[in-house]
Amino acid sequence: MDRINLYILIISLFGVVSCTDDAVELEEDRFVVEAFLFANEPVSGIRVKGIIPLNDPDSVAPLITEARVLLMKDGNNYELSVNEDDEYEYTGNDLTVSTGDIFDIEVTYGDITATASTVVPAPTTGLQISESEILLPEIVLPTPGGGGGFGGGGATAVREAIMSILSNSLIVEWDNPNQELYFMVVENLVDELDPIFPDRIANRLRRFRFVSEPTNENFMEFSLANLETFGQHVIKVYHVNQEYADLYENLNQDSRDLNEPPSNIKNGLGVFSAFNSQNVYFDVKKE
């Protein structure tokens, strides 16, 4: 019987040890790396961020400024420092970003080290647009009571002017024999904005705003309806990597099965990618 008591004691001791309760957190929080390198440009604008809590979606992700961020190229390490915008940058002049360069990044914060790698793609070549100068009619809304308003002859002129803009577009082309990934951005370069559309109409047209996604085509159509101001514009066509395109692939998150956004950051979240681009300019003038 003594042995039986011993056995009971052994099992009971294990049982007591087992009686832990409530949830146990098994891991530390991960962080987000948002790091883009641009060919032939200084390294800057790299962000390390926290995660926004589930129950506070309106809060802003905290920028992490105490992380150690290292860029590595050709066996050399380049430690980045934090600037006044709480973004990481490299202030030395011995680091260049050139076509074909392979970069590694290592971000250490707390006990977590996240790493990633990317390569600087070749520059966009053969970039051209169908028109470098665009003439658009000036749209002047008739004043209420003076000319019959929108229903009168003035309104017809406005409608025709708008339609002439909406029905035209720019064709942007570039070389892409291997169906690689490109992304197009259009920016206004003028300091003093001269709107094409009066506010009332611009608000209605905003839904036509140009939204680009990475493409493996060799052209893109840019509707003039996306223009907002007269003046000089630039079209940047970036040669992008797959890790950047993946950011767009996974926007359709479904609450039934949350997609883990594919990230090339190991042991972390976000993206580390490099770009090379070519620019082309066009001017929007009044007829």
For residue 284, the minimal CB distance to another protein (Å) is 18
By beta-carbon proximity to another protein, the closer residue of 45 and 147 is: 45
What does the alpha-carbon distance between residue 18 and residue 151 come to, in Å, rounded to a whole number? 81
For residue 250, the minimal CB distance to another protein (Å) is 6
By beta-carbon proximity to another protein, the closer residue of 248 and 281 is: 248
By beta-carbon proximity to another protein, the closer residue of 260 and 287 is: 260
Q: Are 21 and 258 in contact (CB under 8 A)?
A: no
Region of 208 on the Ramachandran plot (φ > 0 left; ψ -120 to 50 alpha; else beta): alpha
CA proximity to 222, closest of 153, 134, 157:
134
For residue 150, the minimal CB distance to another protein (Å) is 28
Q: How far is CA 180 from CA 21, 117, 176, 250, in A?
A: 54, 19, 6, 19
By beta-carbon proximity to another protein, the closer residue of 107 and 139 is: 107
- Return the SS3 of 10: helix
For residue 94, the minimal CB distance to another protein (Å) is 27
For residue 157, the minimal CB distance to another protein (Å) is 33
Q: How many CB atoms lie within 10 A of CB 244?
A: 21
For residue 61, the minimal CB distance to another protein (Å) is 6
By beta-carbon proximity to another protein, the closer residue of 160 and 213 is: 213
Q: Are 287 and 136 in contact (CB under 8 A)?
A: yes
Q: Are 246 and 205 in contact (CB under 8 A)?
A: no
By beta-carbon proximity to another protein, the closer residue of 19 and 146 is: 19
CA proximity to 96, closest of 56, 48, 38:
38
Q: Are 182 and 174 in contact (CB under 8 A)?
A: yes
